[in-house]
């Protein structure tokens, strides 16, 4: 029965694509047809009529969306369309299809099925997506993991580097709420560092930056102020990516003379396996912070990491970590386009993790970046 339905659907595909070709100014009908045919093997494996109907309806919207994107790409190549007006169409349609994707996720209880739909979405869309230098980096993950220091530096720089349809995708990526929040997060951490060093606990300050990435907040900090009244500022920079550490040391090479850096290529999961060994290495920190790590870590591991990092903070010192608020943000573009995912938590869920981590003797406060209100900072001051 299903094979017959698919056969009839294939006959309808040509008509569907022809109608869109007539109604859309920029459209690739052959790409639309190819996209629609790609879904049929997946549809054959869907058990319920309800889920099959939902996926089919969504996929026709995907085919329409990608047909326009590829049509815009061709128009840009032929100089029949300029980048700015093209960008407006791309952004509007991308936001719309991601919204439909969210509706599909909410309606389907089969997580394995939605994962397959996302994989097929990327497979069909990435030939045009890869014309964006930014999307290409985020999708291909050249360092082997999502959110590497290179893509974060691109977000910080906030500069379009691609042409044609790539220009449109670059602009959409950099204007995404997540990208705006990441830039605001960096600025807020820089201000926190400035406030901390402006009122130091002593003449020598020890700061541990975990999953440090490119250390842009430190670079900008010392470009604006030297804090030369302090005898010594000792930063320990930790990252599992040696290339990130090498990059950081290069950009921090012009720091004031009273600033020292130690780099350690560690995975934070090693701290959970051998906490006593690493506690001896880090003990006595005035400030421990991490701004891009917490929402990549599952609940129990995050509680264990909080407990470990808190244990190396001296009395009177602080542990600070940033986290995205799931009530204010859904990472649709990173997820659907680039398979870039997070452990989603809201502020209260994250505070509850801290409270159930086993730590004692602290005051807890929460601050937010104000550009997007997406990212909050958990600040834990050690009292005893």
Instruction: Say how far apart CA 119 and CA 135 lie, in whole Å.
Output: 15
- The DSSP output letter for 145 is S
pLDDT (tens digit per residue) in 54-81: 999 999 999 999 999 999 999 999 999 9
pLDDT digit string, tens, across residues 110-154: 999 999 999 999 999 999 999 999 999 999 999 999 999 999 999
Please say whether the beta carbons of 181 and 324 come within 8 A.
yes
Token output for 276: 């006593």
Q: What is the reported pLDDT for 11?
A: 55
pLDDT (0 to 100) of residue 5? 41
Average pLDDT, the chain: 95
Instruction: Give the chain's radius of gyration (CA, Å).
Output: 24
Which of 12, 111, 94 is CA-nearest to residue 56? 12
Would the pLDDT of 379 be above 90? yes
Q: Which pTM does this prediction carry?
A: 0.93
Predicted confidence at residue 9, as pLDDT, reads 53
Return the domain boundaries, the chain: 2-129, 179-382
Predicted confidence (pLDDT) per residue in 177-220, tens digit: 999 999 999 999 999 999 999 999 999 999 999 999 999 999 99
Q: For residue range 170-179, list pLDDT tens digits in order.
A: 999 999 999 9
Tell me: the pLDDT tens digits for 308-343?
999 999 999 999 999 999 999 989 999 999 999 999
Q: Does residue 356 sit in helix, strand or coil?
A: coil
Using the predicted structure, report yes or no on whether residue 345 has a pLDDT greater than 90.
yes
pLDDT of residue 3: 43
Is-contact 253 224, C-beta < 8 A? no
Q: Which CATH architecture has domain 179-382?
A: 3-Layer(aba) Sandwich (3.40)
Q: pLDDT by residue (tens digit) across 353-378?
A: 999 999 999 999 999 999 999 999 99
Phi, psi dihedral angles at 7 (to 5 degrees): -60, -45
Supply the pLDDT for residue 369: 96
Model confidence over 95-110: pLDDT tens digits?
999 999 999 999 999 9
Q: Average of pLDDT values for 275-283?
A: 97
The pLDDT > 90 percentage for the chain reads 95
Identify the pLDDT of residue 384: 86
Q: For position 12, what pLDDT does the model report?
A: 85
Give the model confidence (pLDDT) of 24-59 as tens digits: 999 999 999 999 999 999 999 999 999 999 999 999
Determine phi and psi for 257, rounding to 5 degrees.
-70, -20
What pLDDT was estimated at residue 247?
Answer: 98
Q: What is the pLDDT of residue 325?
A: 97
Alpha carbon 187 to its chain centroid, in Å, reads 17
Share of the chain above pLDDT 70, in %: 97
User: What one-character DSSP code corresponds to residue 216?
Assistant: H
């Amino acid at each position: 029965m299903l094979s017959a339905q698919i056969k009839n659907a294939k006959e309808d595909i040509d008509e569907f694509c022809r109608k869109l070709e007539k109604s859309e100014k920029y459209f690739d009908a052959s790409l639309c047809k190819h996209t629609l045919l790609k879904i049929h093997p997946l549809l054959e494996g869907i058990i319920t009529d309800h889920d099959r109907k939902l996926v089919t309806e969504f996929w026709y919207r995907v085919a329409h969306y990608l047909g326009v994107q590829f049509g815009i790409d061709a128009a840009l190549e032929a100089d029949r369309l300029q980048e700015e007006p093209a960008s407006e169409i791309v952004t509007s349609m991308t936001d719309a299809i991601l919204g439909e994707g969210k509706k599909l996720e909410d309606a389907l209880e089969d997580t394995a099925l939605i994962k397959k739909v996302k994989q097929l979405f990327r497979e069909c869309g990435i030939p045009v997506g890869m014309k964006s230098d930014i999307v290409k980096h985020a999708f291909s993950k050249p360092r082997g993991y999502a959110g590497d220091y290179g893509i974060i530096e691109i977000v910080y720089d906030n500069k379009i580097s691609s042409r044609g349809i790539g220009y449109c995708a670059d602009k959409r990526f950099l204007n995404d709420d997540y990208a705006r929040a990441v830039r605001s997060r960096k600025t807020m951490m820089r201000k926190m560092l400035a406030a901390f060093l402006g009122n130091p606990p002593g003449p020598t300050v020890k700061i541990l930056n975990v999953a440090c990435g490119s250390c842009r907040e430190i670079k900008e900090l010392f470009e604006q102020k030297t804090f030369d009244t302090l005898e010594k500022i000792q930063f320990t920079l930790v990252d599992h990516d040696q290339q990130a550490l090498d990059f950081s040391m290069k950009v921090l090479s012009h720091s004031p003379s009273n600033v020292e850096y130690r780099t350690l290529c560690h995975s934070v999961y090693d701290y959970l396996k051998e906490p006593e060994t690493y506690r001896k290495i880090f003990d006595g920190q005035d400030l421990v912070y991490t701004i891009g790590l917490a929402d990549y870590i599952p609940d129990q591991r995050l509680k264990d990491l909080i407990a470990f990092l808190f244990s190396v903070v001296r009395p009177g010192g602080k542990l600070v970590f940033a986290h995205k608020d799931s009530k204010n943000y859904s990472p649709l573009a990173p997820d659907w386009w680039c398979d870039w995912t997070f452990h989603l938590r809201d502020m209260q869920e994250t505070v509850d993790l801290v409270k159930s981590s086993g730590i004692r003797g602290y005051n807890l406060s929460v601050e937010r970046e104000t550009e997007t209100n997406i990212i909050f900072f958990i600040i834990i001051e050690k009292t005893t």
